[in-house]
Chains A and B, each alone.
Chain A
């Protein structure tokens, strides 16, 4: 398996522009997570989905952020409009969660977002 695939790897944009980050989870995994990493705040969970349904979006900073998971193999994180303080590394991760146990979390390589 290719693992969790994120695109783009790097994104540079100007303040006010719309940014869309993409994620393809590992085939067969039913939970997907979006994390943001900054020097100041470390790794923070933004939102996670289970079976394509958002379960916890309490970490989404504000209305400028939105996430979707239209099917089991694709998710997007959108920022509109973007601001310089959104500059960070955004990670997508996936895992298989069953009624009995949760398997380990696999991370993508992250998207380095720079908002100028």
Chain B
């Protein structure tokens, strides 16, 4: 079974600085998707960024970017110019590729604190 591991239960960053959240996963599949979700105190799950495993180029969404290392099964999230509104729980997630299960497998999450 696929597993997702987030080794940092908590992280903190100064406002305007850069922070990187780590995620590793285990799978025997070659086709899959990886995601980062943000969960603020409101509890809403918000998709931050998505990466298709077959794409070598790292996904980027404004201040959010990933470092996808397929061979190492690593998928880290970099947040640049951190803002107070970035404070939240961040979850890394895996989903099988086309033809596989549609379910998302989540890591346990990293709580990010942004200090003013």
Binding site for B on A (CB under 8 A): 31, 33, 42-45, 48, 50, 55-56, 89, 91, 93, 95, 97, 100-102, 104-105, 107, 109-110, 112
Chain B residues near A112: list those with CB within 8 A.
43
* Whole-angstrom CA separation of A89 from B106 in the bound complex: 15
Of all chain A residues, which has the CB nearest B44?
A109
Chain B residues near A44: list those with CB within 8 A.
106
Would you list which residues of chain B between 64 and 116 have a CB under 8 Å from chain A? 91, 95, 98, 101-109
Task: Please tell me the number of chain B residues within 8 Å of chain A, measured between CB atoms.
Answer: 19
Of all chain B residues, which has the CB nearest A41?
B108
Binding site for A on B (CB under 8 A): 33, 42-45, 47, 50, 91, 95, 98, 101-109
Of all chain A residues, which has the CB nearest B50?
A104
Given A43-B91, A89-B43, A102–B107 Cβ distance below 8 Å?
no
* Whole-angstrom CA separation of A48 from B102 in the bound complex: 8
* Whole-angstrom CA separation of A101 from B105 in the bound complex: 18
Given A42-B106, A102-B95, A104-B50, A56–B101 Cβ distance below 8 Å?
yes
* Whole-angstrom CA separation of A104 from B59 in the bound complex: 15
* A109 with B47: CB separation less than 8 A: no
